[in-house]
Amino acid sequence: MVMKSAKNVYHQVNEIAKILEVKGVKVLRISEAWEKYRIVKEYFEKKPKDGFFLWIKKQINFPISTCLEISKEKFKQKIANLTLIEKGIKAKALMLCSALKKDLNCYHLANGFIILRKNASLEVKHFHNWNTSDKIQMNYNFLLEKNSYVNYIFKSFNPGNVKFNTFAELKTYAKFEKKVIMDSKNSDVNLNSIFTLNGVHSSVISTLKVVARNESKVIAVSKLIGKEQSRGHLECQGLLIGKKAKINLTPSLIVENRNALLTHEASIGKISEDELNYLRSRGLNEEEAIELLITGFLSE
């Protein structure tokens, strides 16, 4: 379907929102939701201009998809999103953020809140595709109520210059599994994750796999805070490709309850010469062999 004007786009978005609402999903522009619902004001003190409010009120049998793209040079995209999943709902989401052209020198800022009520679950696959000149900043806040569950997978194979902050608070029996997979090619990457285990028997498993190529610089700080009897594990892995690439991985464990069990494992390495020579002996050139080994390292 060809969209000829912004008016047509707005009309089609409204029509999609009407269809989804019949199925139990409320979709509004964040500015409209801020005027209509008190809960939006609880998370955004000032009225946001751009972004969405997604409210899943009934069980659905299809994944929710969101797509944010930039095609204009030096465009600044500032969005605020709020996702609310009601009690007992099991949902899946696919998210895509990207630049549609090279050398746009664009800016993408996303502030998001994802709230799961009691016994709710959410599986998210989030993909980013930018260019080295693009600047990206993301601040995502998760609140998991009793016995809720989140499985969040983030992948970026051309991250640009990115700052990615994740904050998660877990109540009783809540569980959060997070996996970040990133291949930086000439990027400045700053990753910061803080998981607060506020509920008895809450748990977190956080996995980071990052490749730094050429002159990339990666700083990643992952922090677990155990306030109640809980379990958590941080796994951080880095792979250096190129003499000027740098990776700094810092796992941090803070125990405030003697019954909390928190662990971590961190490693930074390079391509194995033995594996590289083996693949070259099988007919691959050096570049092909390196790419194959990187693909294996970044696999889920």
**The pLDDT value given to residue 21:** 60
**The pLDDT value given to residue 12:** 38
- Kindly state the tokens that stand for 19: 């269809």
**The pLDDT value given to residue 8:** 36
Mean predicted lDDT score pLDDT of the chain: 90
Q: Is the pTM of this model over 0.85?
A: yes
170 lies in which domain range? Answer: 26-298
**The pLDDT value given to residue 13:** 44
**The pLDDT value given to residue 251:** 96
Residue 182 lies in a domain: yes
Tokens 């509004």 map to which residue?
A: 28
**The pLDDT value given to residue 16:** 46
**The pLDDT value given to residue 111:** 95
Sign of the Cα pseudo-torsion (41, 44, 49, 53, in order): negative
Give the β-pairing of 64-70 and 90-99. parallel
**The pLDDT value given to residue 7:** 38
Span between the terminal Cα atoms of the chain, in Å: 35
User: If pLDDT is split at 50, 70 and 90, which confidence band does 121 have?
Assistant: very high
- Kindly state the tokens that stand for 58: 């009934």
Instruction: Report pLDDT digits (tens) over 202-230.
Output: 999 999 999 999 999 999 999 999 999 99
Residues 221 and 193 sit within 8 Å (Cβ to Cβ): yes
As a whole number, mean pLDDT of residues 265-272 equals 92
Instruction: Report pLDDT digits (tens) over 172-194.
Output: 999 999 999 999 988 999 999 99
Residue 12 lies in a domain: no
Residues 184 and 212 sit within 8 Å (Cβ to Cβ): yes
As a whole number, mean pLDDT of residues 278-297 equals 89
Residues 199 and 230 sit within 8 Å (Cβ to Cβ): yes
Residue 16 lies in a domain: no
User: If pLDDT is split at 50, 70 and 90, which confidence band does 258 have?
Assistant: very high
Residue 1 lies in a domain: no
Instruction: Report pLDDT digits (tens) over 4-40.
Output: 333 333 333 444 455 456 568 898 999 999 999 999 9
Number of domains in the chain: 1
For the cut 70, the answer to whether the pLDDT of residue 3 exceeds it is no
Instruction: Report pLDDT digits (tens) over 57-88.
Output: 999 888 888 888 899 999 999 999 999 999 99
Alpha helices by DSSP H, the chain: 6-22, 30-36, 38-43, 273-281, 286-298
For the cut 80, the answer to whether the pLDDT of residue 248 exceeds it is yes
Residue 3 lies in a domain: no
Residue 10 lies in a domain: no
**The pLDDT value given to residue 67:** 84
**The pLDDT value given to residue 33:** 95
